[in-house]
């Protein structure tokens, strides 16, 4: 519901590209949540989910960079497009090496660290209101969820599958709430 609200009402005072980026990010978060509700956790085993889940950090981080780091706009836009393309290719073509995992780690890592660190930097330098830190908290929470799922898929889970799947819905809710509140009041 929070992601749907964010898609419907958006964030005031943004340029066109950040608005599109945030809308796409929250839209995919909404669709992913609905798929989990409808299909259950078995949906997480689909390679399509990896591709779709990439849209969330890439679009949210693109919106942040475009809105706050004007000098890096074009470079980061190119990174998001090439990163997404690389993930689509490495997940669509069967590969018996570690390239798909490496590409996913690099793309998600850069986008995730941008979502996590940039809001803190903006608040500490006075370029954003203190509540904007919640966007970074949301980035940290979604990163924790992603790491838990990644380790689970590699066969080396940090927690049992039962615990991970039990906490995942709450983690997604807290992530979305932190994003929505941080963007709304930050």
* Tens-place pLDDT, residues 83-117: 999 999 998 888 888 898 889 889 999 999 999 99
Domain extent, residue 60, equals 2-7+14-185
Q: How far is CA 181 from CA 54, 177, 184, 186, in A?
A: 22, 6, 5, 8
Share of the chain above pLDDT 70, in %: 92
Contact indicator for 115, 132 with CB cutoff of 8 Å: no
The structural domain count of the chain equals: 1
> What is the rounded distance in angstroms from the CA atom of residue 89 to the CA atom of residue 143?
23
Residue 75 half-sphere exposure, CB side, CA atoms within 13 Å? 6
Distance spanning both ends of the chain, measured CA to CA: 20
* Non-local CB neighbours of 148 within 8 Å, separated by 6+ positions: 157, 158, 159, 164, 167, 168
What pLDDT sits at residue 27? 86
Q: Give the pair of three-digit tokens for residue 8.
A: 């419907």
* Tens-place pLDDT, residues 45-69: 777 888 888 999 999 999 999 999 9
pLDDT band at residue 7 under the 50/70/90 scheme: low
């Amino acid at each position: 519901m929070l992601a749907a609200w964010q898609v419907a009402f958006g964030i005031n005072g943004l340029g066109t590209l950040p608005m599109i980026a945030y809308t796409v990010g929250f839209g995919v978060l909404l669709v992913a949540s609905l798929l989990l509700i409808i299909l259950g956790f078995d949906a997480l085993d689909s390679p399509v989910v990896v591709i779709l889940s990439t849209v969330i950090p890439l679009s949210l981080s693109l919106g942040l960079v475009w809105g706050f780091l004007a000098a890096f706009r074009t470079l980061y836009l190119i990174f998001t497009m090439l990163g997404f393309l690389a993930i689509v290719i490495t997940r669509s073509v069967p590969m018996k090496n570690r390239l798909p995992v490496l590409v996913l780690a690099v793309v998600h890592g850069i986008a995730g660290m941008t979502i996590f660190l940039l809001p803190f930097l903006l608040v500490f330098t006075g370029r954003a209101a203190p509540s904007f830190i919640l966007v970074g908290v949301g980035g940290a929470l979604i990163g924790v969820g992603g790491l838990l799922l990644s380790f689970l898929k590699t066969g080396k889970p940090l927690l049992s599958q039962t615990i991970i799947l039990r906490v995942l819905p709450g983690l997604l809710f807290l992530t979305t709430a932190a994003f929505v509140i941080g963007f709304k009041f930050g």
